[in-house]
Structure 1
Amino acid sequence: MNADPTSPDLRHVDTWLFDLDNTLYPAESGFMAEITSRMTDFVQKVTGLPREAAHALQKAYLAEHGLTLKGMMLNHGVDPLEFHAIFHDLSLEALAHDPELLAGLARLPGRRLIFTNADDVHARRVLERLELSHLFDDVFHIGSAGYEPKPSPEAFARIGAAHAVDPAVTAFFEDSQRNLEPAAALGMTTVLVGPHAPTAEAPFVHHRTEKLAPFLLGAHVKGAA
């Protein structure tokens, strides 16, 4: 059967980069809410600020640095290993295996890589819970990047060097629009994922989809019938 001619044409792609949280599982799972809450707890503990002020500082560091942790490291001397440990016992009950997503990922030709601002332990736990670990060649996590987070161009330079990424044949899937801008500047094909994606108008967002699995299943890819 021929693919829908209106489907996205990704036949040039042989390297597939995927963000992890709120991209490989739906944002509506609520999983990130618990991560955010624990992060606020940590900021409050380190700074001694009231919770509302701690939350505001957390968001300010996220906006400025692309990652709350980066601001905590630079301004409060936080050990990143101590910071990441607070997430390692999170319940994964909110995350569910999606057979359609597995099928969509499995049909992609070439390499599949995780590119996440989370650490290796969190990434491994989430991928195992989603039953997707076997589909990815590697996880490029925040430690791999030397704690230089997306959307920093340096983070993209480091994954590019580590995995010999050719932007011209690479697609990058993200729920965070601003993380796609440096990818597009390098020449990658960008895909914004999530409930906010259809209304995105930024020129560096090449494709938009509310749900990842149908997009992957419907895309034109190299070697597919």
Structure 2
Amino acid sequence: MSDMLNEPENVLENRQASPDFSHVDTWIFDLDNTLYPSRCNLFAQVDQRMSAFIADYLRVDPVEARRIQKLYYVEHGTTLNGLMKEHGLKPEAFLEYVHDIDVSMLEANKRLSKAIDRLKGRKLVLTNGSRGHALNVTGQLGLTDHFDEFYGIEALGYAPKPHAAAYDRFLELSGTEPLRAAMFEDIARNLEVPHTLGMTTVWVRPPLHPDAARHEKLAHEGADGPHVHHVTDTLEDFLETL
């Protein structure tokens, strides 16, 4: 696995410096760990609730539930996708349960709000979470009114990023022209298909701890590839340069 933390500093600077987005009229943002920093650890709640749901649904102990959860995330793109494929799970109850979380630790981000507001064109959220989760999170961040639409996993027919079917469905629903679109994501592999489609891509790089688990390292996997056009550690810092 390539590790962006070992990439020479001047290479990172070249991939960030003076980005030209004058051709972009559709701005597409991932939700979790992209519109807010990963240090908020909001996903920890979702993570715990997924394990609890799996333990109950499959009638397994917590350790086995955790193993299945992470295995399916690695192999299928999302735990939900794995449960649907391997066990025929109906997704509605799962999404409702795992996204019933407390978002009060998120604070309104005025800098990010202003930076997104200045962008010319449509602004869309594309997430592997539910639409309701996206509305809940962006509402707490004070960002909801800046977005024209929210595309959750339901709208994508439950096909998650990074699968091509998710992006094909998104393009069909949103009427987005890929060559005039920019995609912001915290998981580098989720930018491979947008790059192939002709989108401009930005990796919002999360921290990588030396002792991180395999599923946590996936966000950095392949991040030195050609599908990552720009890199930033903080979304608002990057948007303010445009």
Q: TM-score, normalised by structure 1?
A: 0.90
Distance 1:6 1:178, change over 3 A: closer
Deviations along 1:167-197, one digit per CA (max 9) or x if unpaired, are 1111000011111111111111111113347
Deviations along 1:93-150, one digit per CA (max 9) or x if unpaired, are 2211110000110111100000011111111111111111110000111111111111
Q: TM-score, normalised by structure 2?
A: 0.84
CA deviation after TM superposition for structure 1 residue 54, in Å: 1.5
- The partner residue of 2:230 within 199, 207, 211 is 207
Q: Tell me the residue number matched to 1:218.
A: 241
CA deviation after TM superposition for structure 1 residue 88, in Å: 4.2
Distance 2:22 2:176 in 1: 17
Deviations along 1:33-61, one digit per CA (max 9) or x if unpaired, are 11111111111111222222211211111
Distance 1:105 1:175 in 2: 17
Distance 1:84 1:6 in 2: 39
For residues 169-208 of structure 1, what are the structure 2 equivalents within 5 Å? 169-196=180-207, 200-208=223-231
For residues 31-42 of structure 1, what are the structure 2 equivalents within 5 Å? 31-42=42-53
- The partner residue of 2:21 within 3, 10, 18 is 10
Amino acid at match of 2:231: R
RMSD over aligned CA atoms reads 1.6
- Contact preservation (8 Å) 2:232, 2:238: yes
Q: Is structure 2 residue 118 aligned with structure 1 residue 107?
A: yes
Q: Tell me the residue number matched to 2:30.
A: 19
Distance 2:190 2:176 in 1: 17
Q: Tell me the residue number matched to 1:53.
A: 64
Superposition misfits of 4+ residues, deviation over 6 angstroms: none
Q: Tell me the residue number matched to 2:91.
A: 80
Q: Tell me the residue number matched to 1:132.
A: 143
Identity %: 41
**Residues matched between the structures, number:** 214
Distance 1:214 1:52 in 2: 40
Q: Tell me the residue number matched to 2:81.
A: 70
Distance 1:6 1:125 in 2: 33
- The partner residue of 2:109 within 98, 101, 114 is 98
